Structure 1
Amino acid sequence: MKKHSIKLYNIIFPIWFLWLIPITWIVVLPANFLIDLIVIVLTMKHLKIENIKQKAKTAIFRVWIFGFIADFIGTAAMFIPNVINFNYDTALGQWWDKNITNAVSYNPFQSIYSLLWVTVCVIITAFFIYLFNYKFCLKKSDLDDIQRKKLALSLAVFTAPYLFYLPTSWFF
């Protein structure tokens, strides 16, 4: 009879998933709000938009909420390798476990495949940040179309979840 070793790689959530645990909300919620507000204000100053305080005040709450929705989408994409299940006795299953599942969860720099996966997840999240801000969050503002596009792009670039790249192996 063949002995199987049991691997428990996915018992510990990766760092990019930790913000979903309620205790971290104490830090994450205000930090995201502050980062979003800073990006909005600095981008509006750069674009020489008048009445920044009032315009930022009307947009910040929606930008903040939709930013979390975009992050959830990116987090779901990051979690997909943990859901896809191969027979780990096969070469493909072993490759998937080593280069995708394990690497995405613990150290995206471990393989080019995991680095590409994480990069795609960051891009997906940034795309949704842009889309949500342009189509929904800034729609009711009195910014013109060009200003809304530039502000949405700024938010997408500067608030994308680059922490997805942070290796959780540093913490264990």
Structure 2
Amino acid sequence: MKARNIIFPIWFLWLLPPVIILVVVGNFLLDSLVLVAVYTLAGVPRITNQSLKTLYKSSILKVVLFGFVADLVGVITLLAVTGLPLSIPPSLVSAVNLNPFTNVGAFLTVLGAIILSALCIYALNYFFTFKRIVAEKVTRTKLSATLAVITAPWTFLLPTSWFYPGM
């Protein structure tokens, strides 16, 4: 028995759908591209006297993990809106779940969850990821804000019917 099977047994894959693996890889690639771009455009290697490779290695895992945490905050918000007995009209709940573009309230609800996630991405990266890397607050703000806007969970807006035509 190999050690990796103790940490991540192969039978666990039935609990973790393969689509999640694609999401993790996709998020990692997007976060990597955005991180390298914002570091380069903001001149962080010049400001910090560190190589782009060093900066990337010291921050990518935090950026990715904080992105997932922030996305989870948005998901929990949407689940609370649609799953808790809050006397929300069924048409709003249905639109949030299936197609937020069919109802203004649903669109604003989903957009609110996206904005909440983006604010979490901003705060977590500003106060934790970049705090020790970039002392200059203006640059740190630009880095965090750019990551928040670009890597916010915009996919929350995608209609479910695109993926499940029968719905």
TM-score, length-scaled by structure 1: 0.78
Secondary structure at the residue paired with 1:139? coil
Instruction: Name the residue aligned to 1:31.
Output: 26
Q: Give 1:7's aligned residue.
A: none
Letter in 1 for 2:85: N
Bigger relative CO (Cα 8 Å, ≥ 6 apart): 1
Give yes or no for contact 2:118–2:148 (8 Å, CA) kept in 1.
yes
Q: Which residue of 2 aligns with 1:8?
A: none
- 2:116 matches 1:124: yes
- Partner SS state of residue 131, structure 2: coil
Aligned partners of 2:98, 2:20: CA distance in 1, in Å?
A: 22
1:16-47 residue CA offsets vs partner (Å, 9 max, x unmatched): xxxx9542222111111111111111011111
- CA-based RMSD of the aligned residues comes to 1.8
Is residue 101 from structure 1 mapped to residue 96 from structure 2 by the alignment?
Answer: no
What percent of counterpart residues are identical? 34
The secondary structure found in structure 2 opposite 1:28 is: helix
2 CA distance for matches of 1:82 and 1:45?
A: 41
Q: Shift in Å at residue 142 of structure 1? A: 4.2
Instruction: Give TM-score, length-normalised by structure 2.
Output: 0.80
Unaligned runs of 5+ in 1: 1-19, 87-92
Runs of 4+ in 1 over 3 A off after TM superposition: none
Q: What is the Cα deviation at residue 82 of structure 1? A: 2.2
The unaligned stretches of length 5 or more in structure 2 are 1-14, 46-50
- Give the distance between the partners of 2:21 and 2:78, measured in 1 at CA: 23
